[in-house]
Structure 1
């Protein structure tokens, strides 16, 4: 007789728990989530059914200012964006009797390209995707389940676009007092990348003195209200600092002309967050827009007149979903699937498969096969950061 608390072990193995869709929501062909559900038994067991379900939900929280700076929750909407179910063992008139050992069931879900990306903006907007496997037991015996979070991201930019691969230089002058040059190796980066940033500040007259330099890397998020269509009036802005520092000491040099004027130099090694909970990649969909920008504040004064001055600068960068190689080319997923997340060949030989419902896993990658990108290339024209975002319509 089956025990009330079974010692059976239930595991979900996916080829990848980070799915990447290429192109915008209007042009992406989508992606495929594949995996194996393993049910390990130490003794024979009777079950009603075994199934795997993939769901995605979005939650929008909207509040308004009611006075004295206080905000009141006025709208909260939960929406199911995807709900797929796969029967490993379907219900029937009689119970299924499973023998001792490993029972493996392949599953596959085809995801449409217009799905929103996984997003976490505290107290504003969340999109989450989950896999849930359920073993339904006979009456009065607890069911057994296991869950796994799946991250869905989107690669908006073409990996071969030269505008992202070339070095970035920003030159700005403050009247006839000061000139600064900011440089970074490229415009596009990925999670965990190191950004080698340098800034050179040149005095344009001998009485200028530097006080401090503030460098911030910020993530900007613009959210739309589901009940409105006008971005300017109803959008909500949210941001967070990914990197912040303030320096008052600089390496100085003296130019050989212009009356021996002074120049200051500073270098920063900015390490981007490596987890998706700490930073979003760039997004642009009907509900949320995410961009990233370096912001600099230079404080300086004229030692002769005592006048205090300040100059501000901004350098936008792009954060993509895929990692970059040393040559700054996007490394697309390999065609052959990784094996460290899936059962080994010896384990698969021991698995008893239900061939009436499912087949063997095809040998290709889960993220998005490289040939799909050639069929649906990313657009050549990409809007600059300074362009106003289009109206967000849900």
Structure 2
């Protein structure tokens, strides 16, 4: 039971999942309800719900200043210092008005009221970004029940986390090995192989290096380095007039013992560990507002027979996915397999009110005047109720009885059949 009067926001899921990239995703639906619990007759000016998505970015910029000397010859001495810049702006702003603001108050008796809402998030919605060195993107819901002057408003806030999952078609492509090979100065052939293109935090990357000197091109490998770099590109204002790219080194390895020196073929596998924490490495994001990408950069120092040093440089893109996304990939693939008709017809159809009732009752108690009064009044199972200026009944009405539902259904007894009806049986009953 509610101990104090107030307003509470319930959603089906605090983690909203977008399947596929921004071009192929069909979006998703955010459903929920605002629960208003009153222990006595209360006057309200309005009741609103607002969803806000906000982007905050910050970066350091080098500024060069000049100082004039006091000597006879005018000279300038330049020095640099860093200036910290930060900016924030809204990327999403939507509002639901359940009780509009007017010249008179809304008078509500003591009861619990539920106001459902839903919103379609397009497929190109940018996902949430947390713990990034150059900014973050977050979403939140805020419900406000405005009361008369000198009385505190009823307010509730909840965060939302938007996650993007990879589609099975994209998973198949990213699961293929990635190769990088070339000939250097017609004296050396090298190949770098990575088993797959997508990894998650804390995973090990085996890097396979193969070096084959050409005829008459005896080379010695002095050292081999591998650097994982993270590139963050973001807009600096809401007009998207300018973008800025920052990079940082995530992990670095160096190996000075490479087999196959001289004219012999050399092959070695290096193990590259991806950091586990979100502060150390972020997952990939591809959006015009905020982009995070990762690359593996290789440097091979070569020494010829005359002792001259040269450096061979190469880079390879790699994708880092979120742990929650990667953990749901197998379940995501399973969800795309349709069940047979014999099993599907026995399942319960999805009803938003039912889902919201189960979700809200599992976390919070939202009592009403009736034990099962959770269906909306505009449900086809209920009689229409006229709404007066002074609300005298709950927003949700009682459940229909079992007999009412059975009497309103078709005369065809599916349960007596014990199996799915054929096409001819329903046609014969017309």
TM-score, normalised with respect to structure 2 = 0.60
Residue in structure 1 matching 2:298, options 277, 296, 299:
296
**2:95 paired residue number:** 84
**2:223 paired residue number:** 211
- Whole-angstrom distance in 2 between the partners of 1:346 and 1:214: 48
Residue in structure 2 matching 1:240, options 240, 248, 251:
248
CA offset at residue 213 of structure 1? Answer: 1.8
Secondary structure, counterpart of 2:95 in structure 1: strand
Residue in structure 1 matching 2:270, options 247, 266, 271:
266
Q: 1:166 to 1:236 in 2, by over 3 A?
A: same
- 1:188–1:317 Cα contact (<8 Å) kept: yes
1:86-105, aligned counterparts within 5 Å? 86-87=97-98, 93-99=105-111, 104-105=114-115
- 2:131–2:278 Cα contact (<8 Å) kept: no
> Which one has the largest radius of gyration?
2
Q: 1:228 to 1:249 in 2, by over 3 A?
A: closer
- The answer as to 2:53 corresponding to 1:56 is yes
- 1:52–1:88 Cα contact (<8 Å) kept: no
Q: 1:90 to 1:188 in 2, by over 3 A?
A: farther
List per-residue Cα deviations over 1:31-79 (Å, max 9, x = no partner): 21112445567x5473525443212234577997653455668995734
Residue in structure 2 matching 1:12, options 6, 9, 12:
9
CA offset at residue 109 of structure 1? Answer: 2.0
Residue in structure 1 matching 2:28, options 19, 22, 31:
31
Of residues 334-343 and 115-124 in structure 1, the stretch that sits farther from structure 2 once superposed is 334-343
Secondary structure, counterpart of 2:159 in structure 1: strand
Relative CO higher for 1 or 2, CA cutoff 8 Å, sep ≥ 6?
1
List per-residue Cα deviations over 1:286-327 (Å, max 9, x = no partner): x4444322222233545x543333222211123457724698
Secondary structure, counterpart of 1:186 in structure 2: coil
- 1:35–1:107 Cα contact (<8 Å) kept: yes
Q: 1:323 to 1:58 in 2, by over 3 A?
A: closer
Stretches of structure 1 that go unaligned for 5 or more consecutive residues are 1-5, 361-394
- 2:56–2:86 Cα contact (<8 Å) kept: no
- 1:31–1:112 Cα contact (<8 Å) kept: yes
CA offset at residue 132 of structure 1? Answer: 1.0
**1:187 paired residue number:** 197
CA offset at residue 214 of structure 1? Answer: 2.8
- Whole-angstrom distance in 2 between the partners of 1:356 and 1:16: 24
**1:149 paired residue number:** 159
- Whole-angstrom distance in 2 between the partners of 1:123 and 1:253: 39
**2:141 paired residue number:** 131
Secondary structure, counterpart of 1:163 in structure 2: helix
Secondary structure, counterpart of 1:342 in structure 2: helix
- Whole-angstrom distance in 2 between the partners of 1:35 and 1:25: 24
Stretches of structure 2 that go unaligned for 5 or more consecutive residues are 66-79, 337-348, 379-394, 398-430
Q: 1:313 to 1:15 in 2, by over 3 A?
A: farther
- 1:324–1:330 Cα contact (<8 Å) kept: no
Residue in structure 2 matching 1:111, options 121, 128, 142:
121
CA offset at residue 153 of structure 1? Answer: 4.9
- 2:209–2:269 Cα contact (<8 Å) kept: yes
- Whole-angstrom distance in 1 between the partners of 2:364 and 2:36: 12
Q: 1:44 to 1:198 in 2, by over 3 A?
A: same
CA offset at residue 110 of structure 1? Answer: 2.4
Q: 1:215 to 1:94 in 2, by over 3 A?
A: closer
CA offset at residue 244 of structure 1? Answer: 0.4
**1:160 paired residue number:** 169
List per-residue Cα deviations over 1:63-101 (Å, max 9, x = no partner): 9765345566899573453222252798863432334xx
**1:343 paired residue number:** 360
- 1:86–1:107 Cα contact (<8 Å) kept: no
Q: Which has the higher helix share?
A: 2
**Backbone CA RMSD of aligned residues:** 4.8
List per-residue Cα deviations over 1:245-278 (Å, max 9, x = no partner): 223365x6559xx965544331224356568x95
**2:209 paired residue number:** 200
- The answer as to 2:380 corresponding to 1:355 is no
